[in-house]
Amino acid sequence: MRFKISFVDGRAEIVSGADNYEQEGSMVTFFESGGRNYVDSWSTRLASFRTNDLASVQRVEEESGM
């Protein structure tokens, strides 16, 4: 799974491999959780961004046919 992050300054970034995200204080952190629908101690942090810098977060489905 992937997430498209849009920033307030107009930039955009894709976080691949993440299946969950959550707010941790002033940061939004993306996790790979092995297909679980929740973040736990076995989840791996993939990326973090300052919440104030984000305009939107959108889930993007992976393309099939690989």
Return the H-helix or E-strand segment holding 49: strand 44-50
pTM for the model? 0.85
Residue 37: pLDDT band by 50, 70, 90 thresholds? confident
Residue 62 near residue 1 (C-beta atoms within 8 A): yes
Distance, CA of 43 to CA of 5 (rounded, Å):
20
Distance, CA of 64 to CA of 22 (rounded, Å):
26
Distance, CA of 5 to CA of 37 (rounded, Å):
20
Q: What is the pLDDT of residues 50-60, one digit of tens each?
A: 999 999 999 99
User: What is the pLDDT at residue 66?
Assistant: 46
